[in-house]
Amino acid sequence: MLLFKLAFRYLIGGKKSTKFITIISFIGVFLATTSMLLTLGVMNGFEKSIKEGILSATPHLTIFVSNKNEAQELVNKLEKEPFSKSVYWFATFEVILQKENQLTGTVLIGIPFEEKDVLLNRKKFFLNGNLTDNGIALGNLLSSRLGIYEVPNEVTLISPIARRTPIGFIPLIKKVKVSAIYSSGTYTLDMEGIGFFNFLSKFLHANTFQVALELKDPYKAEKIKHQIQRQFPQLFISTWIDSNKDFFKALQLEKLGMTLVVGLITLVASFNILSLLITKVKELSKDFAIFRAFGIERKFIFKLVLTLGFLIGFLGSLTGTLTASVLAFLANRYELIKVPADIYMSPYLPIIFGFKEIFFVNIFVLILSVFAALIPAKIAISEKITDVLRNN
């Protein structure tokens, strides 16, 4: 306790020039802590917004099966599991769509009629029209590529799977009604189309059958994947994490890079502490010499200088943490960081940091502050007290 009282007294005392350097050092640590926490908070908020957008538009688990009956049986089994929020199956049909001179290959998703409310009842999903029994709905990116901006409309559907006829193999060509245009917020789905399975299966052959599982806790997707895999080892299962693994890896690298860049500010602040403490040691050399003349050990003086560095780091990181918390609260409360809602599924970007981020940032700042005090501490205990007392 005496050590901290003495260190605090020496920290706020001294010459005007030394006090000015103390303020500069404190501001450096304060800004470093604030900027690191806000950077981590923005990156966490960005990651959370992206994940919410992905989770709202894609299944948490996708299970590939061989046919409709197997898909329905699996849906009936998974519906009884406590981790299931909703389960449904769908089929995919690979086709080529043509509208006048525009031609593009895509996938049509065939959904069961009884699941239409689960799949299509999302707010603002359909931009124009609605899905009908004898038509298809196109994603807004696909419809733009084909030049379709209003519904009802018509498109030529070409199946790449050729049929055998007396004159040879020819592809299926059929005029299909476009009854709706939708926007899901994900590039893949917006480049595809949707139709009812019973309608599409009349003239198309399904390429795959998939069971989509939405979980009560989507962040347990990997654990539940292995659980289902043990019951059905013959099935291939993909999670939303598997589908976006490369993106999340890139996001983590970007987060690490931003943290390292901002961490350099803390390193610069530690040099300010180093220069301050060297000045302090020179200024307090007479006091330290008197301490030693009265029998105070070198170890006490060494700890005293380290405590000076610790106090600067502690006070700077504490005020920086409080300031960052207040700024994050205000930014979230008044939605200050505006972003396109159709991309991030939210009109603003939240700033999120918790105890873990606060703990590691403050520990990082304190370690650098103490390390910056090592050289001045060694200088303080290496001075010869006879020379200091003679000169003063």
Q: What is the pLDDT of residues 56-72, one digit of tens each?
A: 778 899 999 999 999 99
Report which of 236, 211, 238, 180 is spatially closest to residue 91, judged by C-alpha positions.
211
**Token pair for residue 373?**
């005090």
pLDDT digits (tens, 9 = 90+) for 294-321: 788 889 889 999 999 999 999 999 999 9
Going by the DSSP 8-state scheme, the letter that residue 338 receives in this structure is B
Which tokens belong to 118?
């689960």
Say whether 49 sits in a helix, a strand or coil.
Answer: helix
pLDDT at residue 357, as a whole number: 92
Q: Is it the case that residue 323 has pLDDT exceeding 90?
A: yes
Q: Give the highest mean pLDDT range of 129-138, 343-352, 379-388.
A: 129-138
In this prediction, residue 139 carries a pLDDT of 93
The mean pLDDT value of the chain amounts to 87
The residue ranges of every structural domain in the chain are 2-54+247-391, 84-215
pLDDT at 35 over 70: yes
Local confidence band at 168 (pLDDT 50, 70, 90 cut-offs): low
Helix (H) or strand (E) holding 371: helix 355-372
The four Cα atoms 339, 342, 346, 352 give a dihedral, to 10 degrees, of -60
Q: CA-based Rg of the chain, rounded to a whole angstrom?
A: 33
Average pLDDT, stretch 84-101? Answer: 92
* Residue 45 token pair: 């908020």
Measure the CA–CA gap between 107 and 109, rounded to whole angstroms. Answer: 6
Q: Is 48 exposed, middle or buried (0-12, 13-18, 19+ CB in 10 A)?
A: middle
Give residue 272's Cα distance to chain centre.
33
Q: How confident is the model at residue 382 (pLDDT cuts 50, 70, 90)?
A: confident
**pLDDT number for residue 169:** 64
Q: Which residues pair with 170 in a beta bridge?
A: 163
pLDDT of residue 287: 81
Whole-angstrom CA distances from 82 to 78, 212, 230, 238, 307 are: 9, 16, 17, 20, 55
pLDDT for 331 equals 93
pLDDT of residue 217: 93
pLDDT in tens, 145-162: 999 999 999 999 988 876
Please calculate the CA angle 137-142-145 and round it to the nearest 5 degrees: 135
Q: Is the pLDDT of residue 340 over 90?
A: no
Q: Is 66 left (phi over 0), alpha (psi -120 to 50) or beta?
A: alpha
Q: What is the predicted pLDDT for the residue at 165?
A: 64
Residue 386 has pLDDT above 70, yes or no: no
Three-class SS state of 250 = helix
* Predicted pLDDT of residue 256: 84
Average pLDDT (273-289) is 86
Q: Which of 215, 247, 204, 250 is nearest to 62 (CA)?
A: 215
Contacts of 61 (CB under 8 A, 6+ apart): 212, 213, 215, 221, 224, 225, 228, 237, 238, 239, 240
**Which pLDDT belongs to residue 176?**
95
Q: For residue 344, is pLDDT > 80?
A: no
pLDDT at 164: 67
Q: Exposure pattern of 283-296 as b/e (b: 16+ CB <10 Å)?
A: ebbeebbebbeeee
pLDDT category at 163 given cuts 50, 70, 90 is low
Confidence at residue 356, expressed as pLDDT on a 0 to 100 scale? 92
Q: What percent of the chain has pLDDT over 90?
A: 52
pLDDT in tens, 203-252: 898 999 999 999 999 999 999 999 999 999 989 999 999 988 888 888 88
Average pLDDT over residues 313-342: 90
